[in-house]
A and B are shown apart, each in its own frame.
Chain A
Amino acid sequence: MYGTWMIPASRFAPHLKICELVEKTKRRMHELWQFTKLIRSKNAGPFELTFDIMFKDQDSFRKVMAGGKLSPELIAQLYKTDLHQIRFFVIESLLTVKISIPRPVFSGDVGDTDVYGGQFHGPLIRLQVVD
């Protein structure tokens, strides 16, 4: 019985696989978490959520900010929030972006899903921030 390791490698056109892999890796390098050392969400009191995005270094910070994707407009769309309710702070001295939005459901209300607000950053982690 053949194990997969016994099938001649040439049948998989290895050069093509590697190209794909490189392509994939390049794609993966565009996700927000790869430029940061911290992405978190948390209540700022029971009625607001705040997101802290801290970048690894100057280079990562510049790349993402120059990409222009991480913006109040994107947050408005992603978190279904009116643009004028979003507070978006770019703090270059800390290589940090801080974003605050009102909670659509207040902490602990009957329909709330996350009392501490600690998991709302989930959709930001794999955000494509650079083309």
Chain B
Amino acid sequence: MKTIKAVAATGNLSSGFREETLVRAVQQGAHFIGCDAGTTDSGPYYLGSGNPRGPREGTKRNLRIMIREGLKAGIPVIVGSAGHAGGTPHLNWTLGIVRELARENAWHFKLASIDSEVPKDRLAEEFQRGRITPLCPAPELNDNSIRQAERFVAMMGIEPIQEALKSSAQVVVTGRCSDVAIYAALPVMQGIPKHVAFHAGKILECGSAAVAQRYYPDCMAAELDQDGFTIDPPNPDFRCTPQSVSAHTLYENSDPYRLIESGGTVDTADAQYEAISDRAVRVNGSRFIPAEKYTVKIEGAAMAGYRSIVVAGIRDPLILRQLGKFLDGLRAVVERKIEDSLKLSRSAYNLQFRVYGSNGSLGQLEPSSQVEGHEVGLIIDVVARSQSEAADILPIVWHTGLHHPIPEQEGLISNFAFPFSPPGADMGPVYQFCANHVWHLDDPCEPFRTTFENL
């Protein structure tokens, strides 16, 4: 029976793995090495700004070991969601590192890059044709918001990766890509059923996260066949249990049994997890339900303004016992001052008092927002249309707040303990996710552009 052995270098390319673990995993007979490099978890900044999330040196170290081992064993290396957000600048950043490594190490191989950025005109056209539909919940998308956004990417399924592999690419670097597709593409091409390949992909995509006790980020491996797969961590210090593997299907997934991917849904409701040694787990019994229509997810980020912040502590119990009222009063005074001196109405900017010690972490979802401690941390958060406007508004707020009166104290008081001079900083552009939509496709490869290079 044909089996395919998949190796995940780690859960995220920037988080790393132990060199000896990857070497061992490949020596044990891997058919390919995969690694996910992206996520939307860290917010819309990376997609919006086009900046990758580094560190560059760490990413280079990890790619060096993966490509070296891949070339040595003659197996493909697949990196998904390059540079964190998978847009064209993120892809180019990662390709730059790969080319640099090839040059420095005198490596020669065929490199495939798959660009997943969707030009705004193209997306607007597809939107007009009714081929872009919202998921739930989703921000409102229309022709105007598409054109005003910074960047969109489409999340590829297995098919564009398979096309690159069929052209004998040794290293495949993709733009935005389903985490699962990185690990399912090659096995499905080699005849492994989709329910096996996609479910194994879900377990592999976080690297060693599916072990019982993850002491540090590291590699993971799975052997796939016609009936199921065996997950077996290549690091001898790690072990998987039926509990740890099945529990991992819950992680970051809103539905514990149904994993929706491009082309279909993996249903794990009847999956069985069985310990076959003290460290390896056999998984059988998931199902793949093909989708009626092939869709890919669209992610987008739009500019929301520019942020400047100040950090301060408040320790005076007389202020703390009336903090809500104090901040409401301060807001009214500064809105007037900003209008008078900067000619900015309160709809032209967003001013937030983030109170740590009250509801800083949960905001409107905090059930117990009264202050109970002896001090609070305050972040004065200003988002305006330009950095200079935000930077102009900020000192009006913090300086007014510093001396804003309370009835119990006469004379000039200083209400804020600033740990820094200057008390705040410009945070740069702020973005927001502006799409949670799918694109209905006739051809799964349609939005993606593959380029080959012989290094």
Contacts and interface: CB of A to CB of B under 8 A. Distances in A.
Interface of A: 42-48, 50, 52, 54, 78-80, 87, 89, 91, 93-94, 96, 98, 100, 102-116, 119-120, 122-123
A96 B138 CA distance: 28
A interface SS class: loop
Interface stretch (B90-98, B319-327, B358-366): B358-366
Interface stretch (B21-29, B124-132, B165-173, B428-436): B428-436
A103 B43 CA distance: 13
Contacts of B277: none
A89 B253 contact: no
Interface stretch (B7-15, B223-231, B243-251, B411-419): B243-251
A116 B42 contact: yes
A111 B252 contact: no
Interface centre among A54, A98, A107, A110 (most CB of B within 10 A): A110
B430 A110 contact: yes
Contact of B362 (A43, A46, A107, A123): A123
Contact of A109 (B251, B368, B432): B432
Given A87-B255, A114-B361, A122-B361, A108 B44 contact: yes
Across chains A and B, which 4 residue pairs bring their CB atoms closest together, nearest first?
A108-B43, A44-B254, A100-B254, A113-B363
A106 to B, nearest CB: 6
A98 B350 contact: no
* Chain B, interface SS category: loop
A89 B368 CA distance: 26
A110 B383 contact: yes
B383 A107 contact: no
Interface string B165-188: 000000000000000000000000
A91 B44 CA distance: 33
Nearest to A117: B41
B305 A110 contact: yes
Nearest to B297: A45
Nearest to A43: B41
B436 A119 contact: no
Contact of A79 (B45, B247, B365): B365
Contacts of B250: 50, 52, 91, 94, 96, 98
B433 A108 contact: yes
B405 to A, nearest CB: 28
A116 B188 CA distance: 32
A52 B251 contact: yes
Given A44-B253, A110-B352, 7 more contacts: A43-B41, A45-B40, A48-B254, A52-B247, A109-B433, A112-B363, A123-B362
Contacts of B373: none
B304 interface: yes
A101 B270 CA distance: 24
B363 A89 contact: no
A119 B362 contact: yes
Interface in B314-366: 350, 352, 354, 359-366
A50 B433 contact: no
Contact of B40 (A46, A102, A120): A46
A109 B345 CA distance: 21
B256 interface: yes
Contacts of A42: 251-252
A14 B10 CA distance: 57
A100 B436 contact: no
Contacts of B136: 102
A100 B361 CA distance: 19
B40, B45, B135 — which one has the most chain A CB atoms within 10 A of its CB?
B40
Contacts of A94: 243, 246-247, 250
Counting chain B CB atoms within 10 Å of each CB, the highest count among A45, A94, A122 belongs to A45
Nearest to B436: A47
Nearest to B354: A113
Contacts of B41: 43, 107, 115-116
Contact of B433 (A98, A106, A113): A106
21 contacts: A45-B40, A45-B254, A45-B436, A46-B43, A47-B137, A47-B138, A50-B250, A50-B254, A52-B251, A80-B365, A87-B254, A87-B255, A104-B365, A106-B433, A107-B44, A107-B433, A109-B304, A113-B361, A116-B41, A120-B362, A122-B361
A6 to B, nearest CB: 30
B256 A91 contact: yes
B350 A110 contact: yes
A44 B252 contact: yes
B171 to A, nearest CB: 29
